[in-house]
Structure 1
Amino acid sequence: MTHPSVEPRPTAEDTGTEPPAPAGSRPWLDRYFHISTRGSTLAREVRGGITTFMAMAYILLLNPLVLSGKDAAGDTLGQKAVITATAFAAALTTLLMGLVGKVPLALAAGLSVSGVLSSQVAPQMTWPQAMGMCVIYGVVIMLLVVTGLREMIMNAIPLALKHGITMGIGLFIALIGFYKSGFVHQGKATPVTLGPAGQLTGWPVLLFAGTLLLVFMLQARGVPGAILIGIVGGTVVAAVLNAAGAIKADAWASGAPELHGGAVSMPDFSLFGHVEFGGWDKVGAMTVGMIVFTLVLAGFFDAMATIIGVGTEAGLADDRGRMPGLSKALFIDGAGGAIGGVAGGSGQTVFIESATGVGEGARTGLASVVTGLLFAACLFFTPLTAIVPQEVASAALVVIGAMMLMNARHVDWADRATAIPVFLTVVLMPFTYTITTGVAAGVVSYVAIKAAQGRAREIGAFMWGLAVIFLIYFALHPIESWLGVR
């Protein structure tokens, strides 16, 4: 894809503002970020940056929750260290997007990537090795951007499957939220059950349900920052109940919601640089390849659509989806995977919440700089973030999952060649607790059904190759047994 070599210059009719003053008479900040050129103002950019931060600050609470599992060695990541890593990586990548990409896009840890790391990668290796895989996937995406393959792959995979992958990840994240909250348990006579014994027990779980309902009500009313407001409200109620002695300290999954040692503390960078490459002989080369592929998928599809979508809303993209700085934005998004891995906070990706800042008037990278600086400030307020109960934060995971399922409206459910692969993709991710299996089933069934309909030419060489790889993935155990590997 070729991109415009000059920044678009909106007219007064387009922006509702006066034409920009000559470049030489404008302040350097205006010239660097093209504020006047894009029909914006300094106040709008600052307001937009603050709004975006408020809309996505929940990631500081959710990412540590998703990454709270044990690795193959039985080790866990410290909550405060993960909060620091999450804030640091979000601040750095968002600042890079603002200063280099010069577009109003903010990045933070992708919950889909974190979900893969926690559920599929860490159980098979150590956390440092898992973060090494995160760095590798980030490098792979950067190479795809540089070579132009990212766009080719995006075009090769059917749009319906892309929506299916997003929806499946949404259900997967929602399941994690329900389980972490205690709302869903492993049953004795059934695979899963409501609560530990078929019913909800304890105030913390009820607080989860109340927080979830509150967020949905706020979203239905169109309240900006509904997720963050719900989390703050749930945390306040939890703190009051805890202080009143209504709930025992050991009833909370993540400890009692109370401050220890004040609201301000120095950042905990103990996870920074704890990355290992290699030592994967126990899991096998095929498994490592599939893990990298799954991480690329998890951080791949939403980013381009989000970047173009937000850019279009900001008036920066033309009718063909071209916008100034697109290649830089895609490259920084890929670099976010490597940066997040090195920091120890999972791969970073562009957040759709950036659109909230655009809605407040943001049009340039200055808004991203403001958002990045606010994330940097959060490095010193880790204790405040750490008091949020796991049950309250889990509600936001369910909300995010529900939002991702809204992609269902883009699927033609009357077309079996589309509906069946999407269905398998969506349901098998949470049912098997692996994103890879859902994607594999969707790709294989799509190719098989299209071929059965005599529409093999519509499939494309890339999808044929992908189907073969996934068939090997499904048959890996029998093949290894046949070859005497196991």
Structure 2
Amino acid sequence: MTSSLLERFFKLSEKGTNFKTECVAGLTTFAAMSYVLVVNPSILSAGGMPIEGLITVTALAACIGTLLMAVMTNYPIAMAPGMGLNAFFAFTICLTREIPWDAALGIVFWNGVLFLLLSLFGVRKKIAEAIPDALKIGVQCGIGLFIAFIGLKNAGLVVDNPATFVSLGDLSQPTTLLALFGIIVTIVLVTKKVTGAILISVILLTVLGAFIPHGDGTLTAMPNGVIGWPDSISKTFFAMDIMYPLEHFAQTWDLVFALLFVNMFDTIGTLIGVSRKARLLDKQGDLPRIGNAMTADAAASVIGSALGTSPVTSYVESAAGVSAGGRTGLTAVVVAMCFLLALFFTPIMKIIPLMATTPALIMVGIFMMESFRQLDFDDMPSLATATVALLAMPLTFSISEGIALGFITYVGIMLGTGKFRKVSFITYALGVIFLLRYVFDLT
């Protein structure tokens, strides 16, 4: 009875798959993206959020978002709090702008609401077409560099220097060398296409950390047990201050826009990329239910803000499950159930040291840098725009500043080279607004 219901709802035979294949694909996708359960809490807590309960929040947000995607689209695409989006939340909104984390959740809420409205009314397609590809590529690559830089900083591989701003860390420290070892191991495993390569490296460094003293002389703590009840999310559940962005609109509008910009193009890129691999695109190269997918993505971000996390988005690691044969939403349902089960292994995840997350951050950064090869290196305006955006993010330690400088640079170059007719009104408007923001110091 159950199998027939699954067959009718997910159309397994029509998609050329079966229950066993979908389950294996779901487990594969979960193994590939499960590192988010450890990395997301460590990044959000760096922004001031209470660490207790963040593993639970991450798992619940991933579970709910993935189920929404499965039910609304029947696509084998999983969702979770986005890498890059969580870095923007913690390091740009909370640390650089000094906005309280509950107010930052309010910004995430309005980002999700706007994203949802744009998806429902079909405006998101017009915006996506109006923004030049150079900016999209530069922003994605810049976020990758930013995330990798955070990973290097967490491991002590790069440190601050009063003369040169940054310099090489102390490689005589055992944990710093261990992090470097983990980066190399992770890249090797990914190159060899080992399923769950990032998760394996996190576990390996955690185990080795039990025998190698950390910077403060301590070892990785032993867990209180293997299985336990999930932590409470009472400190973050509905803690979002949704009035803050409205009351401080002049100081927060660019943050809401930056989140919307990154979330929108990250989602579109992931959906198209994974769907192409799963052969879900139609003859025109379009994704039939992309509107539903974007709506699910936006709704998940709103729900995530209520739970207490940064925006939830589609994960490119879903391609791992597609490679294993996943073709329907049943793959996503299996991923969602795995996130729920993972909650009962919280005691183990809580002992993973910050150093052990470094390879995950570096690898995510590398993945995001791959789109740089899509640039036309003979097109100087595009190359310059993308380069400014991607360099500005890690060097200013702010994703929003990279986006702003990218828009200003692109508009300035196109005006200066007489190619102003090729620039959309939306791009012009945003370029001028960002410039005025700097001129009148509206930060």
Give yes or no for contact 2:122–2:291 (8 Å, CA) kept in 1.
Answer: no
Report how far residue 261 of structure 1 moved: 4.7
In structure 2, relative to structure 1, the CA distance for the partners of 1:314 and 1:441 (3 Å cut) is same
Q: Quick one: distance in 2 between partners of 1:355 and 1:190?
A: 40
Correspondence for 1:260 among 224, 228, 240: 224
- Structure 2 counterparts to residues 346-425 of structure 1, below 5 A: 346-425=310-389
Mark the CA change 1:166 to 1:449 in structure 2 (over 3 Å): closer, same or farther.
Answer: same
Whether the 8 Å contact between 2:22 and 2:330 is mirrored in structure 1 is yes
1:154 corresponding residue in structure 2: 128
Preserved contact between residue 339 and residue 347 of structure 1 (Cα < 8 Å) = no
RMSD: 1.9
Call closer, same or farther: CA 1:185–1:99 in 2, change over 3 Å. Answer: same
Matched with 1:247 is 213
Is the alpha carbon distance of 1:248 and 1:32 closer, same or farther for their aligned partners in structure 2, counting shifts above 3 Å?
A: closer
Whether 2:21 is the aligned partner of 1:44: answer: yes
One-letter amino acid of the structure 1 residue matched with residue 360 of structure 2: A
State the 1:181 CA deviation: 1.4
Distance 2:120 2:66 in 1: 20
SS in 2 for 1:111: coil
1:84 aligned onto 2:49: no
2:298 — aligned with what? 334
| Stretch deviating more after TM superposition (273-282 or 208-217) | 273-282
Name the larger-Rg structure.
1
Native 8 Å contact 1:312 1:318 kept in 2: no
Q: What is the deviation of 1:323? A: 3.1
Pairing 1:101–2:87 present = no
Judged with a 3 Å threshold, the aligned counterparts in structure 2 of structure 1 residues 472 and 342 are, in CA distance, closer, same or farther, namely same
C-alpha displacement of 1:79: 2.6
Does the aligned pair in 2 maintain the 1:202–1:251 contact within 8 Å? no
The sequence identity of aligned pairs, in percent, is 34
Relative distance call for 1:302 and 1:281 in structure 2 (3 A) is closer
Partner of 2:242: 277
Provide the secondary structure at the position in 2 that maps to 1:323. coil
The 1:476/1:379 distance shift into structure 2, 3 A limit, reads farther
Query: 5 Å matches for 1:170-249?
Result: 170-195=144-169, 199-239=170-210, 241=211, 246-247=212-213
Letter in 1 for 2:44: L
User: What residue number does 2:83 align with?
Assistant: 111
Query: Which one-letter code corresponds to 2:72 in the other structure?
Result: V
For the 8 Å contact 2:173–2:215, the answer to whether it is kept is no
CA contact (8 A) 1:80 1:382 kept: no
3-state secondary structure, aligned to 2:84: helix
Change (3 A) 1:28 1:279: closer
Q: Distance in 1 between matches of 2:74 and 2:343?
A: 24
Shift of 1:63: 0.5
CA distances 1:166-196 after superposition (whole Å, capped 9, x unpaired): 000000111111111121111133211222x
Deviation at 1:160, TM superposition (A): 2.0
How far apart are 1:280 and its partner, in Å?
5.6
Q: Using the alignment, how far apart are the partners of 1:165 and 1:279 within structure 2?
A: 26
Report the Cα distance in structure 1 between the residues aligned to 2:65 and 2:407, rounded to whole angstroms: 32
User: What is the match of residue 308 of structure 2?
Assistant: 344
SS at match of 2:313: strand
In the alignment, residue 216 of structure 2 is paired with which amino acid? Answer: D
Task: Determine helix, strand or coil for the equivalent of 2:292.
Answer: helix
Paired residues of 1:106 and 1:351 also in contact (CA < 8 A): yes
Q: Does 1:53 align with 2:27?
A: no
Cα deviation digits, residues 337-377 of structure 1 (max 9, x gap): 11111111211100001011111111100000000000011
Instruction: Kindly state the Cα deviation for residue 281 of structure 1 after the two structures are TM-superposed.
Output: 8.6
Structure 2 unaligned blocks of 5 or more: none
Letter in 2 for 1:169: I
Q: Contact 2:32–2:199 (CA<8 Å) still a contact in 1?
A: yes
Amino acid in structure 1 at the alignment position of 2:369? L
Task: Give distance in 2, aligned partners of 1:306 and 1:296.
Answer: 15
One of 134, 143, 156 as aligned partner of 2:108: 134
Q: 1:409 to 1:279 in 2, by over 3 A?
A: closer
Match 2:11 to one of 16, 25, 34: 34
For 1:17-63, what per-residue CA distance to the aligned partner results, in whole angstroms no more than 9, with x for missing partners?
xxxxxxx9x81210110111111111111111110000000101111
Cα distance between partner residues in 1 of 2:272 and 2:9: 22
What letter matches 1:170 in structure 2? G
SS in 1 for 2:386: helix
CA contact (8 A) 1:310 1:355 kept: yes
For 2:64 and 2:208, the matched residues in 1 are separated by 33
Note if contact 2:220-2:351 (Cα within 8 Å) is conserved in structure 1: yes
Question: What amino acid is aligned across from residue 91 of structure 1 in structure 2?
Answer: C
Looking at structure 2, the residues matched to 104 and 200 of structure 1 have their Cα atoms a distance apart, in angstroms, of 42
Which residue identity lines up with residue 101 of structure 2 in the other structure?
A: W
- Relative to the length of structure 2, the TM-score reads 0.95
Q: Partners in 1 of 2:375 and 2:245 — Cα distance?
A: 39
Give me the whole-angstrom Cα distance separating, in 1, the residues matched to 2:419 and 2:230: 60
Task: Verify the 8 A CA contact 1:170 1:404 in the aligned structure 2.
Answer: yes
Q: Which residue of 2 aligns with 1:10?
A: none
8 Å Cα contact 2:228-2:346 kept in structure 1 = yes
Q: C-alpha offsets along residues 360-400 of structure 1, whole Å, 9 cap, x if unaligned?
A: 11110000000000001112211111111110112210111
Equivalent in the alignment of 1:441? 405
- For the 8 Å contact 2:68–2:300, the answer to whether it is kept is no
| CA deviation after TM superposition for structure 1 residue 451, in Å | 1.8
Structure 1 residues 170, 295: CA separation in 2 closer, same or farther (over 3 Å shift)?
Answer: same
Runs of at least 5 residues in structure 1 that lack an aligned partner in the other structure:
1-23, 71-75, 481-486
What is the distance in 2 between the residues matched to 1:450 and 1:238?
A: 52
